[in-house]
Amino acid sequence: MSFQFKVLKEINEANNKARLGIIKTTHGIVETPVFMPVGTQATIKGILPKEIDELGFSIILSNAYHLFLRPGHQLIRECGGLHKFMGWDKAILTDSGGFQVFSLGRINKINDDGVTFQSYIDGSTHFINPEKVMEIQMALGSDIAMVFDQCTPYPSNKYETQLAAERTYSWAKECQKYHNRKDQTLFAITQGGLFHDIRKENCLKLIELDFPGYALGGLSVGEPKPLMYEILDHIVPLLPAGKPRYLMGVGAPESIIEGVTRGIDMFDCVLPTRNGRNGCLFTGNGKISITNARYKEELGPVDQNCHCYTCQNFSCAYLRHLYLAKEMLGPILGTIHNLHFMKQLMENIREAILEDKLESFKRDFYNNYLVQEETT
């Protein structure tokens, strides 16, 4: 197996459990902590693959559920696999689609065997179970695949959450049985909502199955952030120290910093690219809405300290004009800027860990960064 994970440095303080590491995949090395841009349908919207590469990203995420529905995993396999299909020669992680099955599809039936659901595209009926999810992801040929899990919404009662956690464990065992692609690594997903006892039980049972990596699912689904951090405090210390820890669906800069200090290695989210397309841009002082009237005659860049292509070449006034005129260049430039911000954030975090300065970095970040979004 080509997958390897090595912890290069680990901090063991009361309020800081951050660590540096490297993940070796078939398609290259990934430095951790890492943020993975999301290319749900085999594309990161509004930006070329070569631009993602030039920005410095070594791994991206795509979604098995969406690619199963369109264009179909068999077609992608015939085209040489997902890397060749989308023109990306670095690492790819594919989510199993468990979250999307429950959040996007009109579910007809769910039981211990799997899920029957209707496509959000054309209403056609499909059945997905652990065997099918492994078939899809092995056909895609991603470097890291995820088990099929049942994600509960927020809020959920304890009975529903327990049932979903039990199914997630059972399906994880099934996924292990059917997964046999040697150049692809399979990660487990822990579930349990906001119930500490369910989370702990599910986590410990999955650890016994000895997966190469472990993700925390079912968070960042609408719950207050302090409750998410509480779960991380409770569960992350239980996870194997020598394996990657992945917090799914989290991409707010402040949440990434909080996750890193709790020992998380991997993050993904559509937030930076979605915000970029909608004119919500990250800066060192917080998020701004570029369509706000205050930027109408602003001749400076979005962020004076940013070295991205957007900030080095264009003014806020020009960007605002593009968004209001609905020119496609606006969302493209906004996406480039937000992804550069995320790449720089992760580089700064890794450097701070290496130099034992993460606490001061975190303090400075909060002193400058306004967490609340600016109103328009």
Catalytic positions are: 95, 268
Dist. CA 295–CA 77, nearest whole Å = 47
Q: CA–CA distance from 136 to each of 75, 176, 181 (Å)?
A: 11, 14, 12
The phi and psi torsions of 256 (rounded to 5 degrees) equal -65, -45
Nearest to 32 by CA among 255, 247, 208: 247
Spatial separation of the C-alpha atoms in residues 262 and 17, rounded to whole Å = 5
The residues near 210 (Cβ < 8 Å, ≥ 6 apart) are: none
Whether cis (ω within 30° of 0) applies to the bond prior to 71 is yes
In 3D, which of 53, 66, 125 has the Cα closest to residue 98? 66
Query: Residue 113: phi, psi to the nearest 5?
Result: -80, -30
Which stretches of 262-313 are DSSP H helices?
Answer: 271-277, 309-313
Q: Pairing relation of β-strands 19-25 and 28-32?
A: antiparallel
